[in-house]
């Protein structure tokens, strides 16, 4: 046996053991790493506000606390308002449920000539097997729901703590990171950090402005239609449609359509038409103007980045995909050398070939035959024979 073979085997086994240990540790810490990533982008988003408040002499810790306090008050107020709206609407629907059943039963009796009654329908529903199974499953799933809610609250607290430290100790963190890098690399890291702050803050600013415009537009529509809880629904539509990529618009429009249906079924159709028309206006008119200076990304690139982020990190990847791609695009744009584009028709979608005769001229030539000058030229003998 060669002397190097035992050492090679031990080294291979050690590398394999390190790889397995690293894979196991990554699987165990994937939740924590995802929370840190969300906290980092949240800290980048509030960095401009914290830096502006610190420039007026306020301590960064206090400025970060005030920013988070404002966000928390807004979030709690929105959840309480939305919860009260949903609770009130559910109570109204429960109170009106017998009337709905009577109207449906009357329609069925008239159309199909049956003799159904509400008492029989209620008894059949209450004594049905699927309802009893559903109640049993719901009772056993209460513990799972409670565990999920507590886990979500703990995760939210973890994200807020990390983002608070990232934003409050931003200069110290950058100083610690640059202390282990050479001066040339330090400039690149600081430039990347600045670009990330600008792009993430610009993304949040543009989305917030579009959410405000969307909320005001839908509030006017809901007030005209006299749909209940119009302010809460407008805030819901504005936030969900802008901060949930790709499908946020449809999720946001479902709740106003449901409440409008309880007022008048035709109102739900009006809400649907308005949501579709406003979405087109936002995609082709409003969004290009607001995001031209903040997050200048082609719509196809933004859509692909959202799909890729969702495939990698789920909903978290969908939220951070656009600012991450915008930061990467701006950072690479500073190091990519660009040249002047040649003045070629193919650049503008044309062709390099010379334009031929129009189709109408070709058809006229085929019908009437060649011109007289062309025929004379064809009968003339070549060379000097014509001059003889």
8 pLDDT higher than 60 = yes
In a domain, 267, yes or no: yes
In a domain, 378, yes or no: no
Based on the fold, state whether residues 220 and 168 are members of the same structural domain: no
In a domain, 101, yes or no: yes
Based on the fold, state whether residues 160 and 222 are members of the same structural domain: no
- Listed residue (306, 257, 273, 35) closest to 164, CA to CA: 35
Based on the fold, state whether residues 243 and 310 are members of the same structural domain: yes
Query: Distance (Å, rounded) from C-alpha 26 to C-alpha 37?
Result: 14
Query: Distance (Å, rounded) from C-alpha 216 to C-alpha 211?
Result: 9
Place of tokens 């914290």: 50
Q: How many domains does the chain have?
A: 2
DSSP 3-state of 25: helix
Q: What angle do CA 369, 371, 372 make, to 5 degrees?
A: 120
Q: What percent of the chain has pLDDT over 70?
A: 71
Are 194 and 179 in contact by the 8 Å Cβ rule? The answer is: no
In a domain, 210, yes or no: yes
Q: What is the pLDDT confidence band of residue 24, given thresholds at 50, 70 and 90?
A: very high
Instruction: Write down which residue in 315, 336, 357 finishes a domain.
Output: 336
CB count, 10 Å around CB of 180? 8
Query: Distance (Å, rounded) from C-alpha 287 to C-alpha 104?
Result: 44
Based on the fold, state whether residues 162 and 189 are members of the same structural domain: no
Based on the fold, state whether residues 169 and 56 are members of the same structural domain: yes
User: Average of pLDDT values for 23-33?
Assistant: 87
DSSP 3-state of 226: coil
- pLDDT tens digit string along 247-275? 677 788 888 888 788 777 788 889 889 98
User: Average of pLDDT values for 307-330?
Assistant: 74
User: Average of pLDDT values for 132-136?
Assistant: 64
Are 313 and 34 in contact by the 8 Å Cβ rule? The answer is: yes
Are 212 and 196 in contact by the 8 Å Cβ rule? The answer is: no
Task: Check residue 17 and give its pLDDT.
Answer: 94
Are 280 and 270 in contact by the 8 Å Cβ rule? The answer is: no
The percent helix, strand, coil of the chain (3-state, each to 5) is: 80, 0, 20
Based on the fold, state whether residues 191 and 315 are members of the same structural domain: yes
386 pLDDT higher than 50 = no
Average pLDDT, the chain: 76
Structural domain range at position 254: 184-336
CB count, 10 Å around CB of 349? 6
Based on the fold, state whether residues 192 and 232 are members of the same structural domain: yes
- The better pLDDT of the pair 91, 278 is held by 278
384 pLDDT higher than 50 = no
- The better pLDDT of the pair 96, 375 is held by 96
In a domain, 350, yes or no: no
Lowest pLDDT segment from 12-21, 57-66, 180-189, 286-295? 286-295
Based on the fold, state whether residues 199 and 279 are members of the same structural domain: yes
Query: Distance (Å, rounded) from C-alpha 124 to C-alpha 137?
Result: 20
Task: Check residue 15 and give its pLDDT.
Answer: 95
Q: What is the pLDDT confidence band of residue 139, given thresholds at 50, 70 and 90?
A: low
In a domain, 277, yes or no: yes
Task: Check residue 130 and give its pLDDT.
Answer: 66
387 pLDDT higher than 60 = no
- pLDDT tens digit string along 198-243? 777 777 778 888 888 888 888 898 888 888 778 878 888 888 887 7
Based on the fold, state whether residues 174 and 242 are members of the same structural domain: no
- The answer for residues whose C-beta is within 8 angstroms of residue 31's C-beta and 6 or more apart is 155
Based on the fold, state whether residues 167 and 189 are members of the same structural domain: no
Let me know if 238 is exposed, middle or buried by CB neighbors in 10 A (0-12, 13-18, 19+).
buried
In a domain, 349, yes or no: no
Provide the whole-model pTM: 0.62
Strand ranges inside the chain, DSSP E: none
Torsion of CA 226, 232, 234, 236, to 10 degrees: -140
User: Average of pLDDT values for 324-352?
Assistant: 68
Query: Distance (Å, rounded) from C-alpha 38 to C-alpha 324?
Result: 11
Based on the fold, state whether residues 158 and 233 are members of the same structural domain: no
Q: What is the pLDDT confidence band of residue 20, given thresholds at 50, 70 and 90?
A: very high
Based on the fold, state whether residues 233 and 307 are members of the same structural domain: yes
Are 214 and 282 in contact by the 8 Å Cβ rule? The answer is: yes
375 pLDDT higher than 50 = no
295 pLDDT higher than 70 = no
310 pLDDT higher than 80 = no
Query: Distance (Å, rounded) from C-alpha 234 to C-alpha 237?
Result: 5
In a domain, 369, yes or no: no
Task: Check residue 385 and give its pLDDT.
Answer: 45
CB count, 10 Å around CB of 140? 9
Task: Check residue 265 and give its pLDDT.
Answer: 76
Task: Check residue 18 and give its pLDDT.
Answer: 95
Query: Distance (Å, rounded) from C-alpha 295 to C-alpha 206?
Result: 8
Phi-psi map region of 369: left, alpha, beta (phi>0 left; psi -120 to 50 alpha): left
146 pLDDT higher than 70 = no
């Amino acid at each position: 046996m060669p002397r190097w073979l035992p050492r090679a085997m031990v080294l291979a086994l050690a590398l394999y053991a390190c790889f397995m240990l690293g894979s196991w540790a990554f699987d165990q810490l994937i939740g924590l790493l995802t929370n840190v990533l969300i906290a980092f982008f949240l800290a980048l988003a509030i960095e401009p506000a914290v830096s502006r408040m610190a420039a007026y002499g306020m301590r960064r810790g206090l400025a970060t606390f005030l920013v988070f306090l404002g966000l928390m008050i807004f979030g709690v107020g929105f959840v309480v308002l939305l919860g009260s709206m949903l609770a009130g609407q559910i109570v109204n629907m429960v109170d009106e449920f017998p009337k709905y059943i009577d109207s449906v039963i009357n329609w069925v009796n008239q159309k199909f000539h049956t003799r159904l009654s509400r008492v029989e329908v209620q008894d059949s529903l209450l004594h049905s097997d699927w309802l009893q199974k559903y109640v049993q499953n719901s009772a056993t799933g209460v513990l799972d729901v409670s565990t999920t809610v507590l886990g979500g609250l703990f995760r939210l607290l973890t994200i807020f703590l990390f983002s608070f430290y990232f934003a409050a100790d931003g200069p110290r963190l950058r100083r610690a990171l640059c202390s282990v890098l050479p001066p040339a690399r330090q400039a690149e890291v600081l430039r990347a950090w600045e670009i990330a702050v600008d792009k993430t803050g610009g993304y949040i600013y543009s989305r917030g402005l579009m959410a405000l415009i969307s909320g005001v537009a839908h509030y006017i529509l809901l007030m005209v239609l006299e749909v209940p809880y119009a302010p809460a629904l407008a805030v819901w539509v504005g936030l969900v449609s802008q901060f949930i990529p790709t499908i946020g618009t449809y999720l946001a429009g479902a709740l106003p359509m449901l409440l409008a249906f309880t007022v008048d079924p035709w109102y739900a159709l009006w809400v649907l038409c308005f949501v579709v028309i406003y979405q087109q206006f936002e995609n082709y008119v409003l969004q290009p103007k607001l995001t031209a200076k903040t997050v200048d990304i082609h719509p196809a690139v933004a859509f692909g980045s959202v799909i890729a982020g969702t495939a990698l990190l789920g909903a978290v990847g969908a939220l951070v995909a656009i600012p991450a791609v915008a930061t990467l695009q701006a950072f690479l744009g500073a190091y990519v050398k660009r040249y002047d584009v040649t003045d070629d028709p193919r650049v503008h979608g044309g062709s390099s070939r010379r334009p031929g005769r129009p189709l109408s001229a070709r058809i006229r030539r085929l019908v009437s035959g060649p011109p007289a000058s062309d025929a004379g030229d064809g009968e003339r003998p070549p060379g000097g024979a014509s001059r003889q």
